[in-house]
Amino acid sequence: MGFQVAIDGPAGAGKSSVARGVAQVLQISYVDTGAMYRSVTYLALLQGVQASNTCQLEKLLHQIVTKIDFQVVQGEQHLFLGDMDLSDSIRSQEVTRNVSTIAANSLVRKYLVQKQRDLALSWPGVVMDGRDIGTHVLLHANVKFFLTASLEQRAKRRYDELVKKGFHPSLTELMGDIERRDQMDIERDLSPLRPAQDAIILDTSCLTQHEVIEMVVALCRLRMTQGEA
Ligand code: DC
């Protein structure tokens, strides 16, 4: 098994940016598992597939799961389905509003968790971010983090991120959406959002992205040297 870093936490805690930065410094791969749940949501909405229709949902998952791929485009990680770049489409508010329902579905989780484990095994090192990476997907990860931040901070970060991408969100609506999504992620039966027992918990409310990346990298390096000893 290569060196594995698990980063979990609620929406907008800065996981993706931190995970991307850490992977870059450590020169290992990065997987945004939230993007995978978003891509299934996007395609289910596009094809009118309901989460309750097990037959249609399994057909959809079967068709797409082997085609989901990550590629770096101009320094940014993009999610592809075959040769289709879905990176922008999966960030729409419609996908965001529906993704927690899709992510609570056992069939969806079965297919995506298997894909995530396969990806992790295919690389010499990986940083994976999500909600259940330390508690379920990579149970034996070398180091696990749980990033949190106040609801206000998290909504503001999501807001800035979306504005940068050309969307025009409302901060109040975003705060409501994030709160609802957190609640669904925390309360669901399957792999609910919670820190792993062996996770390092970091409250990033008063830290810059750069500071969080530095802390995470330092702790990973420490774990790497402990592993060699
Ligand atoms: O990180 P994000 O906001 O892009 O994640 C989208 C949704 O996917 C989020 O509401 C929870 C879900 N998710 C999950 O259940 N398990 C993961 N490993 C990653 C994301």
**Domain residue limits, the chain:** 3-222
Whether residue 125 has its Cβ less than 6 Å from ligand 1: no
Tell me which of 15, 45, 68, 99 to substitute to probe ligand 1's pocket, judged by most ligand atoms within 8 Å of the beta carbon.
99
Alpha-carbon gap, residue 19 to 30, rounded angstroms: 7
- Residue 23 has phi, psi (to 5 degrees) of -60, -40
Q: Which helix (H) or strand (E) holds 3?
A: strand 3-8
Q: Which CATH superfamily is domain 3-222 in?
A: P-loop containing nucleotide triphosphate hydrolases (3.40.50.300)
Whether residue 177 has its Cβ less than 6 Å from ligand 1: no
Alpha-carbon gap, residue 23 to 115, rounded angstroms: 19
For atom 9 of ligand 1, the residue with the nearest CA is 100
Whether residue 89 has its Cβ less than 6 Å from ligand 1: no
CB 100 within 8 A of CB 185: yes
Closest residue by Cα to residue 1 from 118, 129, 166, 132: 118
Q: What is the pLDDT of residue 1?
A: 79
Sequence-ordered list of residues with C-beta below 8 angstroms from that of 120, at least 6 positions apart, any chain = 2, 4, 31, 126, 128, 137, 138
For atom 15 of ligand 1, the residue with the nearest CA is 103
- Radius of gyration of the chain from Cα atoms? 17
Q: What is the mean pLDDT of each run of 10 residues along the chain (229 residues)?
A: 94 91 95 96 96 94 94 88 95 90 94 96 94 97 96 92 86 92 90 94 94 97 83
Q: What is the pLDDT of residue 229?
A: 61
The pTM (predicted TM-score) of the whole model is 0.93
Answer positive or negative: Cα dihedral of 104, 107, 113, 115.
negative
**Read out DSSP for 62-125?**
HHHGGGEEEEEETTEEEEEETTEE-TTGGGSHHHHHHHHHHHT-HHHHHHHHHHHHHHHHTSSE
